[in-house]
Structure 1
């Protein structure tokens, strides 16, 4: 899941949703690359490097691997996967885990292997959704024809649609993620998601843009996610309209920032010339 600088941030620390989990990598596959959202006036293409100043950064020319999914032990993974359908009625709870264990003929005692039972279930779901999103990015040729803003909106929609079956229980999931013990993993998983979406849009910037763009996109994702919880329109029509408007606003703002920067540079150059002329006239006098 880490195809840019986020990978180097998190690989330095152990990322585990459950005990004894490991990370595995898939071979890197090239994705679409083109010019897109940038707050730099002269940025017309994206760099292939990640921010070297980012904590834990390595050689910026390091070849990124295809991003990892947490590799759960077989029985634990079977249990978590089998528990997800029960979340719809039982919530993100130990009761859902017990029901899942029965479905796959496992002893409920295996639930004791999860230090944070409800959180493990939410985190497994988040990992699984991100892996499915990556698979969609790699396989959906239709994404290649979309402009950057439409591609980003499409990817956010694809990801949020994965939560639709659990929408009535999603406030509970957000509450679990917000608990102090779960915040670090929740933050990492959301950062991985945002980084993956920007990477799919062709972004590998290495300057302050990297942080700005991910902050903006993280805000768009979170506000749309919250809006979705109160949306009663058919097939979440209002949510997707809200999402499209937020993405459009972000790209319009980026354009405005660029134009203002060009103007400032032009005015600055003009003032510089005027100041130089004034200084010369003073000394000539």
Structure 2
């Protein structure tokens, strides 16, 4: 199995912001070189002459063409930067306007960009949700790298802590999160949504010092994916102060997952919960798995 850090490095430009417009780099043209027959007395200069017309050599032409290509690319890169700025500025407006085009227009105005830029996103609401998911993953990774406290925890405690940190990032948007789940479950968006959740689960297991490379690798990630999804749904209906009931629920589920007496049937239910968490209620699954 490849480590996720390496996979992110290789796939970063394609995966990090799937909904941002991407532009193909146009390679510079190579000028056709002229074959000139030389004699011992001919002076060979850096430039060739043909019918009294001076033709630049290939290295000069290539350098000039590359410079022109870079100049053409710069506005495109700047445009992508503006798109990212708009998405980032849109997040505070989600609390009031939801995961919507209206929130993106408000974000564009905040950063002084024309609201017409919102039209450049093929899937506007999905672009905003997916940007948030990627941003949260990066912030979680930063916490993993910077918090020494995590290294002093046993694996089960470390997993509970990391899942809690990640879900706490959704707390400000909790009233609008059912809308985000609905957007993620749409056919055009579900593939990216599953990829993002798979990357999240993989990062958490690596932070727990998991180095499994056999079938156990898949089982562990299936279980943790189910725990994350069920806790996410539980959080939507939790009215306790600071979601304390949610964190107790999470701790119990992680403890159960580390219990060697867990049955294959429970693993199956947890796998089903991953899919159910994307598009429907998990209450039935939660009841079947964790009924006392």
1:96 and 2:103 correspond: yes
CA deviation profile, 1:37-66 (whole Å, cap 9, x unmatched): xxxxxxxxxxxxxxxxxxxxxxxxxxxxxx
CA displacement at 1:74 relative to structure 2: 0.9
1:128 and 2:161 correspond: no
Alignment check: 8 A CA contact 1:177 1:183 kept: yes
Structure 1 residues 116 and 74 mapped into 2: Cα distance closer, same or farther (>3 Å)?
Answer: same
Look up the match of 2:7: 7
Alignment check: 8 A CA contact 1:83 1:101 kept: yes
1:147 and 2:162 correspond: no
Alignment check: 8 A CA contact 2:20 2:80 kept: no
Q: Which one of 153, 158, 161 corresponds to residue 165 of structure 2?
A: 158
SS of aligned partner of 1:99: helix
1:184 and 2:191 correspond: yes
CA displacement at 1:162 relative to structure 2: 0.2
Q: Which one of 179, 188, 201 corresponds to residue 194 of structure 1?
A: 201
Higher relative contact order (CA 8 A, sep 6+): 1
Q: Which one of 20, 23, 33 corresponds to residue 22 of structure 2?
A: 20
CA deviation profile, 1:64-112 (whole Å, cap 9, x unmatched): xxxxxxxx92101110010000000000000000100110111011011
Alignment check: 8 A CA contact 1:83 1:100 kept: yes
Query: Which whole-Å CA distance do the structure 1 matches of 2:256 and 2:199 have between them?
Result: 23
Structure 1 residues 228 and 21 mapped into 2: Cα distance closer, same or farther (>3 Å)?
Answer: farther
CA displacement at 1:3 relative to structure 2: 3.0
Query: Which whole-Å CA distance do the structure 1 matches of 2:95 and 2:5 have between them?
Result: 36
Q: Name structure 1 gaps, 5 residues minimum.
A: 23-71, 258-285
Aligned length: 206
Query: Which whole-Å CA distance do the structure 2 matches of 1:203 and 1:153 have between them?
Result: 15
SS of aligned partner of 2:105: helix
Structure 1 residues 169 and 144 mapped into 2: Cα distance closer, same or farther (>3 Å)?
Answer: same
Query: Which whole-Å CA distance do the structure 2 matches of 1:94 and 1:224 have between them?
Result: 29
Query: Which whole-Å CA distance do the structure 2 matches of 1:147 and 1:219 have between them?
Result: 21
Please list, as runs of the form range in 1=range in 2, the aligned pairs for 1:18-167 lying within 5 A after superposition: 18-20=20-22, 73-167=80-174
Aligned-pair RMSD on alpha carbons? 2.5
CA displacement at 1:13 relative to structure 2: 11
Alignment check: 8 A CA contact 1:82 1:101 kept: yes
SS of aligned partner of 1:152: helix
TM-score using structure 1 length: 0.68
CA deviation profile, 1:166-191 (whole Å, cap 9, x unmatched): 00000000000000000110010000
Query: Which whole-Å CA distance do the structure 1 matches of 2:99 and 2:85 have between them?
Result: 16
Structure (1 or 2) with the greater helix fraction: 2
Please list, as runs of the form range in 1=range in 2, the aligned pairs for 1:167-182 lying within 5 A after superposition: 167-182=174-189
Alignment check: 8 A CA contact 2:4 2:199 kept: no
CA displacement at 1:12 relative to structure 2: 11
Largest Rg, 1 or 2: 2
Q: Name structure 2 gaps, 5 residues minimum.
A: 25-78, 264-292
Alignment check: 8 A CA contact 1:216 1:250 kept: yes
Query: Which whole-Å CA distance do the structure 2 matches of 1:208 and 1:174 have between them?
Result: 29
